[in-house]
Amino acid sequence: MLGWEFPPILTGGLGTACYGLSKALSNYVDLTLIIPRAEKSLTLDGVKILGLNYLGLEEELAYEEPSVSYNTFTDVTYVDANLNPYPMGIMFTQISKPVLKAEDVRNLYNTNESYGPNIMDKVATYAEVVTKIALNKEFDVIHAHDWITYPAAVKLKEATGKPLVLHIHSLETDRVGTHAKHQVNAVYEIEKKGMEAADRLIPVSHFTKSCAMDHYYIPEYKFHPVYNAIDPEPTFRLEKQGDEKIVLFLGRITFQKGPEFMAETAFKLLQRYQNVRFFVAGIGDQLQKLKDTCYAMGIYDKFIFAGFLNKPKVREILAQADVYFMPSVSEPFGLSALEAAQFDIPSVLSIQSGVAEVMNHALKADYWDTDRFANYIYALLNYEGIRNDMIENTEQEIDAMSWDQSAQDVHKVYQTCV
């Protein structure tokens, strides 16, 4: 299995999902996970984790270079500014030749920045090194997570002929908008070529499946959606100061997450109800614009912009929030909604999110339907009955979810192609 983000360094749902899935999957298959950067302290029962940042690479690299090269993915030299899937805006990136000296490889990945301005170097090197490592190993299926690992996965398939399964946690068309397909966009091209080469595709929702079909023109037979899950975790509630209600927005402040629709919803709600504050946890390229909008609307004082929060801080605010609000324009899954649900927070979600497919007891509206969002949030803040029913019913749903179920579903997908 080829992954990119992995605990303890996470920037979004990708690493969390990879972790949960590989842990559960190790009960069904013999799993080797190759990631750019592993912590020696982190081990997972039954999973062999290889991190390029600390492996004795000299031995691993002693093999013949395979005949297929990375060139197929390097037709495009420049990539769009929004290439970066997770925080930290970078502008233009030139794809370099992969580095192959072991020490350089280690240095390349020994950083807390999983993406960064040299992301394409990292991706290209990863493809080279992974192929060399994997050619020396026995395996039946190649399983790769998101575009950063697709070049490696495709290269490995071309070198070995083994079945290729690509997991889709998010797409460039989610991250930058559907116009990605009309522009010169290296990430889009990588995703498209990867999906075309793949034998099976595992999107994290039916929503993402339809995005991949609509925007990447991939035939339906390849898709086997498998939902993300959440494992039980103890939660708690904190008494908050004052009686003001808290609506929580958690995530990157990017186009994809619909911050402008949050502002519009807040504006509408605040016309009729003022005992509320919007807590925004996260950063991103739309943060300043969001602040400007709120200021212009005269609702800035009803917002708290907390910036990027680490996990304990996130849990602290989850323990106080009254409503979880996710108006994403295009959300492949939205794992954070399940985390919020564990904290007994009722959710208001956009229909354009994968998690809406598994949360029957959330309130849902189209991402642009801010009237409906405002109406839902008003109800959750004012009427006791609906809160209690949603919480109780969601609890049952969450209890029935497990990464083990997702792993079983993934295992079934493997069985269709080996």
Binding site for another protein (CB under 8 A): 268, 271-273, 360-361, 363, 371, 374-376, 378-379, 382-390, 392-393
Token pair, residue 401, equals 């979810």
Contact call for residues 261 and 368 (beta carbons, < 8 A): yes
Looking at the Cβ atoms of 159 and 391, the one nearer to another protein is 391
Minimum distance, C-beta of residue 357 to another protein, in the bound complex (Å)? 15
Looking at the Cβ atoms of 158 and 369, the one nearer to another protein is 369
Burial class (CB in 10 A: 0-12, 13-18, 19+), 140: exposed
Q: Is the peptide bond before 8 cis (omega within 30 degrees of 0)?
A: yes
Minimum distance, C-beta of residue 265 to another protein, in the bound complex (Å)? 12
The distance between the two most distant Cα atoms of the chain, rounded to a whole number of Å, is 69
Measured distance CA(418)–CA(220) in Å, rounded: 19
Looking at the Cβ atoms of 320 and 393, the one nearer to another protein is 393
Minimum distance, C-beta of residue 377 to another protein, in the bound complex (Å)? 9
Strand pairing class (323-326; 347-350): parallel
Looking at the Cβ atoms of 133 and 374, the one nearer to another protein is 374
Minimum distance, C-beta of residue 340 to another protein, in the bound complex (Å)? 17
Closest by CA to 228, choosing from 85, 45, 36, 402, is 402
Minimum distance, C-beta of residue 397 to another protein, in the bound complex (Å)? 10
What are the DSSP calls for 125-170, one per residue?
HHHHHHHHHHHTS--S-EEEESGGGHHHHHHHHHHH---EEEEES-
Closest by CA to 50, choosing from 77, 22, 24, is 22
Minimum distance, C-beta of residue 388 to another protein, in the bound complex (Å)? 4
Looking at the Cβ atoms of 233 and 384, the one nearer to another protein is 384
Minimum distance, C-beta of residue 381 to another protein, in the bound complex (Å)? 10
Buried b (16+ CB within 10 A) or exposed e, 377-403: bbbbbeeeeebeebeeebeeebeebbb
Phi and psi (nearest 5°) for 170? -165, 160
Minimum distance, C-beta of residue 386 to another protein, in the bound complex (Å)? 5
Minimum distance, C-beta of residue 336 to another protein, in the bound complex (Å)? 21
Looking at the Cβ atoms of 285 and 397, the one nearer to another protein is 397
Minimum distance, C-beta of residue 399 to another protein, in the bound complex (Å)? 16
Closest by CA to 181, choosing from 34, 146, 189, is 189
293 CB-side CA count, 13 A: 15
Contacts of 91-94 spanning 24+ positions with Cβ under 8 A? 91/117, 93/117, 93/118, 93/119, 93/120, 94/120
Looking at the Cβ atoms of 257 and 268, the one nearer to another protein is 268
Minimum distance, C-beta of residue 274 to another protein, in the bound complex (Å)? 13
Looking at the Cβ atoms of 183 and 388, the one nearer to another protein is 388
Phi and psi (nearest 5°) for 142? -100, 125
H or E element at residue 229: none
Measured distance CA(235)–CA(178) in Å, rounded: 37
Measured distance CA(232)–CA(403) in Å, rounded: 10
Looking at the Cβ atoms of 196 and 392, the one nearer to another protein is 392
Looking at the Cβ atoms of 56 and 385, the one nearer to another protein is 385
Looking at the Cβ atoms of 220 and 389, the one nearer to another protein is 389
Measured distance CA(117)–CA(98) in Å, rounded: 15
